């Protein structure tokens, strides 16, 4: 009965390293701590009871510092590492039950991976690396080359197809890794700290390129990183992992605005919120009322429950009537609000706080938050923005 849009379901994955992991599972389930278990049995907990639901077409970031188990976790998705307990369900198939041949087919068609240190074959050319997955799956070389050249084109490596990986810069090598992963047309892309080994500037370029590609291809991407800025930049949803345990899962704004615990709180402390938090995530709800229906009675009624009313004309925001305004000017003020022809201050819900500053500074009180179709979704005031900035 899986939700249709959920692509990957991770259920209670445990991974314990040691000579006989099954023997200590009971202790781990009972809540033995990492150091306690290591001291008593010599076993190390890699992943403890992680469950996730990853929607199709989303970039899902798993973030944690080194030793948090993030790289171990991602290797469970294509079973480069076998879990001690738990299952991973992808499109209604439990990956843990796949036999050797089925697992191979699964890796060839369904899921592909990009590695931190690229993991390219140094004795093969860029093109040969890109078509590697196709060739080992038995595709004819000529067809594979046609397909491979498309991927090389996609990542912008034209003209380098006959070079060897070591002749390229790090960023270009990782593009080869990306093209190789895209070449198999897998629906799921695993990226294990894919950009961590690159220079900051190149990393930014690669992040942009990934976002661009994702907007076109709509893959389900599981992205591992230790870099919060990177996570916030590319992730639709972010999961924070510490010591093999999941601490919080949510959108970037949710994690920034409502950190689940001290650890996450400390983690997000130094992030520049103004650049990450979007207006949409802090917008206040407001009633909407068509211009023709604005009367003292209707306003009074709506403003008992709502902070403000957005006056609309043909679905487009025209003006705002706030509770304070109504209290001060009453029905006399409504006339001007109805007839005023000036455009009300509007801001797109996907804009960041930073982008709203200049507009808010120039408007007197409230601004209307709109969606991509210019439909009003709520209102925002400088006070709300300041509050979000002040982390409270």
Which positions touch other proteins (CB under 8 A)? 75, 78, 80, 104-109, 111-113, 115-117, 119-123, 132-133, 136-137, 163-167, 180, 184, 190
The DSSP string of 154-172 is HTT-TT-TTS-GGGS-HHH
As to burial, measured by CB atoms within 10 angstroms (0-12 exposed, 13-18 middle, 19+ buried), residue 135 is middle
Task: Report the residue number, 123 or 275, with the smaller CB distance to other proteins.
Answer: 123
| C-beta closer to other proteins: residue 94 or 167 | 167
To the nearest whole angstrom, how small is the minimum distance from the Cβ of residue 231 to other proteins? Answer: 22
| Min CB(356)–other proteins separation in Å | 43
Which residue, 192 or 230, is less far from other proteins as judged by CB?
Answer: 192
Return d(Cα 290, Cα 284) in angstroms, integer. Answer: 19
Residues contacting residue 262 through CB under 8 Å, at least 6 positions apart:
none
Instruction: Write out the H or E segment, with its range, that includes residue 139.
Output: none
Question: 70 and 190 in contact (C-beta within 8 Å)?
Answer: no
The CB-of-391 to other proteins minimum distance in angstroms stands at 39
3-state helix, strand, coil split of the chain in percent (to 5) is: 45, 25, 30
Provide the terminal-to-terminal Cα distance of the chain, rounded to the nearest Å.
39
Instruction: Give CA angle at 329 (325, 333), nearest 5°.
Output: 90
Q: Which is nearer to other proteins, 138 or 373 (CB)?
A: 138
- Nearer CB in complex with other proteins: 125/272: 125
Nearer to other proteins, 81 or 274 (CB): 81
Q: Closest separation between CB of residue 116 and other proteins, Å?
A: 7
Residue 135 or residue 291: which is nearer to other proteins going by CB?
135
> 114 or 253: whose CB is closer to other proteins?
114
Give φ, ψ of 199 to 5 degrees.
Answer: -60, 150
Angle at 53 between CA 49 and CA 56, to 5 degrees: 150
In 3-state terms, what secondary structure has residue 127?
helix
Q: Which is nearer to other proteins, 173 or 319 (CB)?
A: 173
With residue 240 as reference, give the H or E element that holds it: strand 237-242
Residue entry with tokens 């924070």: 240
Report d(CA 193, CA 264) in Å as an integer. Answer: 20
CA distance 138 to 339: 71
CA angle 6, 108, 194 (to 5 degrees): 70
Smallest gap from residue 117 Cβ to other proteins (A): 5
Tell the smallest beta-carbon distance from residue 234 to other proteins (Å). Answer: 21
Q: How far is the CB of 197 from other proteins (least distance, A)?
A: 11
Closest distance of CB 104 from other proteins, Å: 5
87/110 with CB nearer other proteins? 110
- CA 305 from centroid of its chain's CA atoms: 34
In the complex, what is the shortest distance from the CB of residue 286 to other proteins, in angstroms, rounded to a whole number? 49
For 358, residues 6+ apart whose C-beta sits below 8 A from its C-beta are none
We find the least distance from the C-beta atom of residue 122 to other proteins, in angstroms, to be: 5
Q: How far is CA 104 from CA 12, 78, 186, 192, 307, in A?
A: 24, 10, 13, 20, 58
């Amino acid at each position: 009965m899986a939700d249709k849009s959920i692509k990957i379901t991770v259920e209670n994955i445990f991974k314990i390293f040691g000579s006989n992991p099954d023997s200590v599972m009971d202790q781990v389930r009972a809540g033995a701590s990492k150091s306690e278990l290591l001291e008593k049995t010599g076993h190390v907990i890699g992943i403890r009871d992680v469950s996730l639901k990853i929607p199709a077409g989303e970039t899902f970031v798993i973030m944690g510092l080194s030793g948090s188990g993030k790289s171990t976790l991602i290797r469970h998705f294509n079973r480069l590492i076998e879990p001690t307990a738990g299952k991973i369900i992808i499109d209604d198939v439990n990956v843990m039950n796949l036999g050797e041949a089925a697992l191979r087919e699964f890796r060839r068609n369904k899921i592909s991976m990009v590695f931190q240190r690229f993991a390219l074959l140094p004795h093969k050319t860029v093109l040969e690396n890109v078509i590697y997955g196709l060739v080992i799956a038995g595709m004819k070389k000529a067809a594979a080359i046609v397909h491979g050249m498309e991927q090389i084109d996609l990542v912008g490596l034209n003209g380098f197809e006959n070079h060897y990986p070591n002749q390229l810069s790090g960023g270009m090598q990782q593009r080869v890794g990306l093209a190789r992963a895209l070449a198999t047309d897998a629906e799921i892309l695993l990226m294990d700290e894919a950009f961590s080994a690159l220079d900051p500037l190149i990393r930014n370029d690669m992040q942009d390129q990934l976002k661009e590609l994702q907007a076109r291809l709509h893959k389900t991407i599981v992205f591992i990183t230790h870099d919060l800025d990177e996570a916030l930049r590319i992730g639709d949803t972010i999961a924070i992992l510490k010591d093999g345990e999941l601490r919080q899962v949510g959108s970037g704004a949710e994690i920034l605005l409502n950190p689940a615990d001290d650890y996450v709180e400390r983690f997000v402390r130094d992030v520049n919120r103004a650049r990450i938090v979007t207006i949409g995530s802090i917008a206040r709800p407001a009633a909407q009322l068509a211009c023709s229906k604005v009367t003292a009675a209707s306003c009074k009624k709506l403003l008992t429950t709502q902070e403000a009313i957005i006056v609309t004309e043909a679905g487009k925001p025209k003006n705002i009537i706030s509770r304070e305004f109504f209290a001060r000017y009453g029905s006399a003020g409504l006339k001007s609000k109805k007839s005023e022809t000036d455009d009300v201050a509007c801001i797109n819900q996907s804009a960041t706080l930073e982008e709203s500053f200049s507009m808010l500074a120039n408007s007197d009180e409230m601004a209307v938050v709109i969606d991509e179709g210019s439909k009003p979704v709520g209102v925002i005031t400088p006070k709300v923005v300041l509050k979000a900035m002040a982390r409270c």
